[in-house]
């Protein structure tokens, strides 16, 4: 109260002083600047005009005089007299103008003595009035200043007297923190890190959270560490259940899952310590996790590729194609988050989700429906095109040949699980319809790739490399949209054998050497029975034993070690080695083409490079060898054995 009153008094003094200063400045304009401007324009301006007139007459008089002096004395007397009279007339006019100019200069000099000094005197008078007003204000402020000085001194004395008591209280609170715990209206409160799904995986955002057990209300306030304050809008949800998160199910420590009544999905939170998590779990009546591997149905509030998930996507697509296919910025313009969450909660409700014929009401905006579709896809346990194929799709998009890109992506799509492929086909057919109406909705294939690339093909971790691959995610989606009929309605071609790949590369090597990204991702992929696998292992083991006993003999008997390629057993036919004499360990090989490494585990080399200790690697389509003392992976079809 004392500070507030002091500020009010200070403000009053400063306001009065500032008002007087403004009046002084305004008065200066009237008493000083305006008269001087008037004197400059009227008096000095008139003198300048008189000087111009004088200079003009001087030039005229001098010119006539010079011309008169140059007259010849042989001219007639009448002509000479006429010239003399003309000169006299000009001289008289020049004399009159000169007098007028001198008169004007003298007038300006005389006026300056009072018309210049008088405004300055008036201005100084106003300045003295301003200073006098300040003196009067200081005089009136004197009493309050004296009281305030005494009050400040008393406050300082009280502070010095109570400082030791406050310090003693601080030590007691340090020794026994529980005895001096602050009484809070909340059952539990503190900082938690909340997992949020973004375009590039997930991120953990710091929140200040409070929980009230009676109302089961959880309030989360985003906290910005840099500014040290609130970093966004508050969010309140009603608690449904709280479950401790197992350590082996997530990379972070001290985590627990919260399910809310009024928000779909699971909210994963991270406490500051194990003790802090225990306190939050106790406050929320948390339970230990129970995993049932036989549970096939979708748990309430989670996104899955089941009948409910397909029903939600179909409803959203039907609503967009019937009501908003021509709406500009379709899928690019996002809806209000609260509306999107509300729509998802309605769609994911098992009671309404089972009603397959129920369309989305017209009250929901198209941008809300499109945002709900994208949000549901992000809520899936993993991206629709799966983490394990993410790198393969990116590599396919980096191929130089468009036909190779389409072929590789075609093959990869058919390696996805059945439900993922069906959902992807449903979505691509819809996006193709959207792109066909791009003249109205302005959403071309490229624009749709930008929107859906990070959603369908997001990486498992946010890294710099993942950010650099964003454009290739978009390219994959563009290829899927443009070639959706071929990719989803036809079976991909069988991959070429190693000999065929080698022959095709030799034929094309004269025109253009292939890039490193054109290597085959997998040459075969099949499920072996136990009996056939044992038969294969026995063949490999027997061959390795012969190698260990006589390494040189393997070169002469390599053909006898291979199984019969004409055998009627289809599984044994797949056992055909995909690399030349792959059973022979540690051989030399020569590079047919140049290759630049895309990862640390790969080797960079030029055509003609010789590798040592070349042998099969565990990754299909790759060999492992040594170059200049460094061991790394080599594309199988880039080398020939020596």
60-112 pLDDT, tens per residue? 889 888 888 887 777 788 888 888 888 889 899 999 999 999 999 999 999 88
H/E element holding 312? Answer: helix 307-323
32 Cβ neighbours under 8 A, 6+ residues apart: 119, 120, 122, 123
What pLDDT shows up at residue 249? 74
> What is the pLDDT, as a whole number, of residue 433?
96
Which sign does the torsion angle of CA 295, 297, 300, 306 carry?
A: positive
User: How far is Cα 345 from Cα 237, in angstroms, rounded to an integer?
Assistant: 13
Specify burial of residue 602 (Cβ count, 10 A radius: 0-12, 13-18, 19+): middle
Average pLDDT for 431-444:
95
Helix (H) or strand (E) holding 230: strand 229-230
Over residues 330-351, the pLDDT tens digits come to: 999 999 988 999 999 888 887 6
Partners of 633 in beta bridges: 602, 624
Classify 74 in phi/psi space as left (phi over 0), alpha (psi -120 to 50) or beta. Answer: alpha
pLDDT > 70: what percent of the chain? 80
Burial class (CB in 10 A: 0-12, 13-18, 19+), 547: middle
Q: How far apart are the first and last CA of the chain?
A: 94
Res 494: pLDDT:
56
Average pLDDT score over residue span 513-521: 38
Q: Is the dihedral of CA 578, 580, 586, 587 positive or negative?
A: negative
pLDDT given for residue 187 in this prediction: 87
In this predicted structure, what is the pLDDT of residue 531?
Answer: 39
Higher pLDDT, 505 or 253: 253
Q: What pLDDT is stored for residue 373 in this prediction? A: 94
Q: Tell how strand 217-224 and strand 188-198 pair up.
A: unpaired
pLDDT recorded at residue 539: 39
Give the torsion sign (CA, 608, 614, 616, 620).
Answer: negative
pLDDT at 182: 65
Question: How far apart, in whole angstroms, are the C-alpha atoms of residue 318 and residue 311?
Answer: 10
The predicted structure's pLDDT at residue 356:
52
Please choose, from the candidates 546, 618, 551, the residue with its C-alpha nearest in 3D space to the C-alpha of residue 586: 551
The per-residue pLDDT of the chain, averaged, comes to 79
Six token digits for residue 69: 């002096």
Instruction: Report DSSP state, residue 79.
Output: H
Q: Residue 179: which pLDDT band, with cuts at 50, 70 and 90?
A: low
pLDDT: which is higher, 501 or 19:
19
- d(Cα 271, Cα 188) in Å, to the nearest integer? 12
Cα separation, 494 vs 134, in Å, equals 97
Name the CA dihedral angle for 299, 303, 305, 310, rounded to a multiple of 10 degrees.
110
- What is the pLDDT averaged over residues 210-217? 92
* Length of the chain measured in residues: 642
- Neighbouring residues of 338: CB distance < 8 A, sequence distance ≥ 6: none
Write out pLDDT tens, residues 371-416.
999 999 999 988 999 988 888 999 999 998 899 999 999 999 999 9
What pLDDT band is residue 589 in, cutting at 50, 70 and 90? confident
DSSP-derived letter for residue 252 is S
Using pLDDT thresholds of 50, 70 and 90, give the confidence band for residue 438.
very high
**Amino acid 630: pLDDT:** 85
- What mean pLDDT do residues 309-330 have? 93
Instruction: Determine the pLDDT at residue 639.
Output: 81
pLDDT value at residue 270: 93
Q: Model's pTM, two decimal places?
A: 0.38
Angstrom distances, CA of residue 217 to CA of 344, 578, 584: 21, 62, 68
pLDDT at 560: 35
Reduced to 3 states, what is the DSSP secondary structure of residue 351? Answer: helix
Q: Please list the residues that pair with 116 across neighbouring strands.
A: none
The CA distance from 449 to 438, in Å, is 13
Backbone CA torsion sign across 47, 49, 53, 56: positive
Q: What share of the chain is helix, strand, coil (3-state, %, to 5)?
A: 55, 15, 30
Report the candidate in 598, 528, 642 with the shortest Cα–Cα distance to residue 634: 598
- Report residue 94 as tokens: 């020049």
pLDDT given for residue 355 in this prediction: 57
Q: Is 305 helix (H, G, I), strand (E, B) or coil?
A: coil
Closest CA to 209 of 232, 180, 230, 189: 189
Instruction: Return the bridge partners of 193, or none.
Output: 206, 270
d(CA 184, CA 178): 13
> Which pLDDT belongs to residue 73?
77
Please state, as a whole number, how many other Cβ atoms lie within 10 Å of the Cβ of residue 429.
14
CA distance 7 to 15: 12
Element of type H or E holding 133 = helix 117-175
196: Cβ contacts below 8 Å, ≥ 6 apart: 202, 203, 204, 205
Distance CA 173, CA 415 (A): 63
pLDDT of residue 570: 35
What is the rounded CA–CA span in Å between residue 494 and residue 270? 48
């Amino acid at each position: 109260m004392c500070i507030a009153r002091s500020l009010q008094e200070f403000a009053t003094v400063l306001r009065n002083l500032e008002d007087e200063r403004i009046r002084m400045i305004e008065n200066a304009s009237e008493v000083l600047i305006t008269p001087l401007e008037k004197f400059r324009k009227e008096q000095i301006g008139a003198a300048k005009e008189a000087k111009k007139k004088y200079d003009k007459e001087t030039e005229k008089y001098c010119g006539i005089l010079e011309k008169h002096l140059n007259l010849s004395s042989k001219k007639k007397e009448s002509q000479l007299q006429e010239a003399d009279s003309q000169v006299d007339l000009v001289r008289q006019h020049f004399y009159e103008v000169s007098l007028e100019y001198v008169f004007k200069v003298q007038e300006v000099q005389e006026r300056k003595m009072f018309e210049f000094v008088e405004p300055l005197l008036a201005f100084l008078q106003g300045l003295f009035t301003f200073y006098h007003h300040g003196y009067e204000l200081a005089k009136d402020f004197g009493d309050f200043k004296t009281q305030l000085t005494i009050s400040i001194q008393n406050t300082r004395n009280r502070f010095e007297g109570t400082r030791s008591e406050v310090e003693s209280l601080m030590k007691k609170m340090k020794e026994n923190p529980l005895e001096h715990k602050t009484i809070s209206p909340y059952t539990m409160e503190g900082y938690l890190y909340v997992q949020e799904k973004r375009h590039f995986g997930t991120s953990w955002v710091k929140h200040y959270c409070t929980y009230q057990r009676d109302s089961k209300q959880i309030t989360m306030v985003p906290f910005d560490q840099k500014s040290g304050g609130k970093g966004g809008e508050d969010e309140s949800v009603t608690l449904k259940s709280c479950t401790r998160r197992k350590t082996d199910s997530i990379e972070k420590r001290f985590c627990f899952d919260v399910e809310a009544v009024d928000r779909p999905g699971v909210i994963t939170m991270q406490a500051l310590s194990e003790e802090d998590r225990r306190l939050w779990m106790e406050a929320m009546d948390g339970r230990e996790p129970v995993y049932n591997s036989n549970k096939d149905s979708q748990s309430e509030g989670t996104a899955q590729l089941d009948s409910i998930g397909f029903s939600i996507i179909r409803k959203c697509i039907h609503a967009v194609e019937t009501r908003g296919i021509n709406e500009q910025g379709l899928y690019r313009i996002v809806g209000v988050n609260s509306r999107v969450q509300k729509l998802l909660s309605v769609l994911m409700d098992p009671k309404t989700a089972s009603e397959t014929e129920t369309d989305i009401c017209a009250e929901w905006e198209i941008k809300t429906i499109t945002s709900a579709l994208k949000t549901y896809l992000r809520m899936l346990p993993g991206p629709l095109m799966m983490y394990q194929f993410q790198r393969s799709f990116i590599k396919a998009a980096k191929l130089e040949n468009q036909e190779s890109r389409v072929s590789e992506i075609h093959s990869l799509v058919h390696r996805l699980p059945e439900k993922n492929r069906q959902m992807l086909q449903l979505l691509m057919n819809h996006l193709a319809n959207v792109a066909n109406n791009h003249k109205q909705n302005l959403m071309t294939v490229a624009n749709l790739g930008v929107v859906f690339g990070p959603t369908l093909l997001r990486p498992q971790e946010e890294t710099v490399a993942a950010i650099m691959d964003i454009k290739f995610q978009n390219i994959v989606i563009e290829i899927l949209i443009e070639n959706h009929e071929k990719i989803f309605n036809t079976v991909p071609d069988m991959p070429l054998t190693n000999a065929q790949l080698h022959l095709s590369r030799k034929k094309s090597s004269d025109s253009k050497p292939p890039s490193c990204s054109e290597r085959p991702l997998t040459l075969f992929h099949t499920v072996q029975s136990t009996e056939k696998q044992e038969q294969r292992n026995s063949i490999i083991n027997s061959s390795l034993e012969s190698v260990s006993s006589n390494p040189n003999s393997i070169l002469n008997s390599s053909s006898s070690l291979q199984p019969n390629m004409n055998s009627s057993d289809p599984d044994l036919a797949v056992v055909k080695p995909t690399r030349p004499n792959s059973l022979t360990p540690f051989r030399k090989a020569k590079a047919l083409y140049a290759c630049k490494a895309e990862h640390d585990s790969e080797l960079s080399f030029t055509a003609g490079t010789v590798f040592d200790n070349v042998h099969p690697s565990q990754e299909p389509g790759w060999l492992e060898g040594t170059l200049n003392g460094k061991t790394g992976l080599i594309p199988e079809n880039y080398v020939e054995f020596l």
